[in-house]
A = this chain, B = another copy of it.
Amino acid sequence: MKKKPTIRDVAARAGVSIATVSKYINATQRFTPGVERKIRAAVDELAYQSNPLARSMITGRTGSVGVVILDIGNPHFTNVVKGANRVALEQGYNLLFVDTEESQAREEVLLEALSRRVDGLIVSTRMPEDQLDRVLAYGKPVVFSGRPAPGKGPSIGVDAYSAAFMLGELLVKQRHKRIAYTGFAPARPDMERMRGLTDCLDAHRMKLMRFELRAPTIAEGERLAPSVLLRKDRPDAVVCYNDLVAIGFLGAARTLGIAIPEELSLVGIDNIPFSRFTRPALTTVDIQSEYLGEEGMRMLLRAIEGDPAVKGHVKVEPRLVVRDSTRER
C-alpha cells in the first residue's frame, strides 16, 4: 500500500515536463518517437495511473453517472439498473448506484454524496413534488425515473393509470364481483393506479376495496394476506401493488389453503422475471423495467451533452401479461 506515483514522478523519470506527460496520458497530441518511448517506459516502470479526482477538478467531468434506486432487493429496480448500465457503458460512462432502502433521510445524504461524483443522475424517489428542486440544486443534469416531475426536469415512467386500468378491465371481463387493491400510499404510482382501477370499476358500477401495505415487499404481502383473505366478504380478485407483494400473497394463500385461481384471482404489477415461475404463474402487467433504464440513461446522457431537447415526461406503455393466476368466474 505504498503511495502512488504522480505525474511529476513520471515526468522526472522520463526527463520531460509534466505537461508533456499529461498530453501523452490523454492522447491529445503526437510526439517525437524518442519522447513517446521514454514516457511509456516511465509509465510502465512506475505503474502510473492518473488520478481521476485531480482530473475531474479541472475538467469538471467525471466520466461517471449515478443511479439512485429505492430498493435493490426489488427485481424491477435491478432491471432498471441493468438497462441503464448497458447504455452507460456503451457510451463510455460508468455507472455508480446507490440504494436508499426506501428511506427519505438516507436519500438526502446519499444524493448529495453521489451528485458531486458524477456528471448526472437518474433518480427514483418518493420525495414530494415540491422538494424535487433540492435534487436539481446539485447543479447536475437529472432524469427522474418512475414518475412524472412536472416542471422539475425530464422524467420517464410507465403509465401507471393505464396499467391499473388494464388489470381492472381483465378482472371485470372475467366476471369478478369483489375486487380489492392492496396499495402502498407512500409510493408515487400508487395514486395513479388507484385512479385507474377506480375509474374502470366505476364504469362498470363496481366498488373497489382497498387494503394498505406497509412496504412493497414479499414479506409484507405475506403479512397482509390473511387479513384480506379471511374476511367474511372475501374479495374474489386482488390486485397487488406489485409482483413482490403478489408472491407473498401466493405463499400465504397456499398456507391458508385457498386455491388460486380457483377460489381467488391474483394479479401483480411489474412482470419481474420470477413472476413467470410462480405456480400458478402470475398474471401481471409488464412495465418494461429494463427499457425504462435504457431510455432514461439515453435521456440523461443527451442532457449531459447539453441537448436542450431533453425535457418533459416520457410515458412508457404497459403491457398486460395474462398467465394462470386469474380465471373466469
Check B57–A54 contact: CB distance below 8 A.
yes
Q: A82-B73, A139-B2 are in contact. Are A279 and B278 (CB under 8 A)?
A: yes
Check B64–A72 contact: CB distance below 8 A.
no
With both beta carbons as reference points, the residue of chain B lying nearest to A72 in the complex is identified as B78
Q: A274-B247, A277-B218 are in contact. Are A116 and B51 (CB under 8 A)?
A: yes
CA distance A56 to B47 in the complex (A): 22
Interface string of A129-155 (1 = CB under 8 A from B): 000000001111100000000000000
With both beta carbons as reference points, the residue of chain B lying nearest to A57 in the complex is identified as B53
In this complex, the interface size class of chain A, counting residues with CB under 8 Å from chain B, is 35 or more
Q: A63-B113, A117-B52, A139-B4 are in contact. Are A96 and B99 (CB under 8 A)?
A: no
User: Which of B53, B81, B96, B218 is the one whose CB lies under 8 Å from A273?
Assistant: B218
Check A110–B94 contact: CB distance below 8 A.
yes
Interface string of A98-124 (1 = CB under 8 A from B): 110100001001101110110000000
Check B276–A251 contact: CB distance below 8 A.
yes
Q: Shortest distance in angstroms between A149's beta carbon and chain B's nearest beta carbon?
A: 16
Residues in B whose Cβ lies below 8 Å from that of A79 = 73
Residues in B whose Cβ lies below 8 Å from that of A309 = none
Residues in B whose Cβ lies below 8 Å from that of A273 = 73, 218
Interface string of A61-101 (1 = CB under 8 A from B): 00110000000110100110110011001000011111101
Check B278–A277 contact: CB distance below 8 A.
yes
| A21 on the B face (CB < 8 A) | no
| A203 on the B face (CB < 8 A) | no
With both beta carbons as reference points, the residue of chain B lying nearest to A94 in the complex is identified as B113
CA distance A218 to B116 in the complex (A): 37
Q: Which of A114, A138, A279 has the most CB of B within 10 A?
A: A279
With both beta carbons as reference points, the residue of chain B lying nearest to A248 in the complex is identified as B277
Check B1–A139 contact: CB distance below 8 A.
yes
Q: Shortest distance in angstroms between A5's beta carbon and chain B's nearest beta carbon?
A: 10
| A297 on the B face (CB < 8 A) | no
CA distance A1 to B311 in the complex (A): 14
Q: Shortest distance in angstroms between A308's beta carbon and chain B's nearest beta carbon?
A: 11
Check B82–A96 contact: CB distance below 8 A.
no
Q: Shortest distance in angstroms between A100's beta carbon and chain B's nearest beta carbon?
A: 10
| A174 on the B face (CB < 8 A) | no
Give residues 2-27 of A contacting B (CB, 8 Å): 2-4
CA distance A53 to B58 in the complex (A): 11
Given contacts A52-B113, A53-B57, A53-B117, 10 further A-B contacts (CB under 8 A): A51-B116, A64-B117, A86-B101, A96-B97, A117-B117, A250-B277, A251-B276, A277-B278, A278-B278, A279-B279
Residues of A within 8 A of B (CB): 1-4, 47, 49, 51-54, 56-57, 63-64, 72-73, 75, 78-79, 81-82, 85-86, 89, 94-99, 101, 106, 109-110, 112-114, 116-117, 137-141, 218, 247, 250-251, 254, 273-274, 276-279
14 inter-chain pairs at a CB distance below 8 angstroms, sorted by A residue, are A49-B112, A52-B117, A53-B56, A64-B117, A72-B78, A72-B81, A73-B75, A86-B101, A94-B109, A96-B114, A117-B117, A250-B277, A274-B274, A279-B279
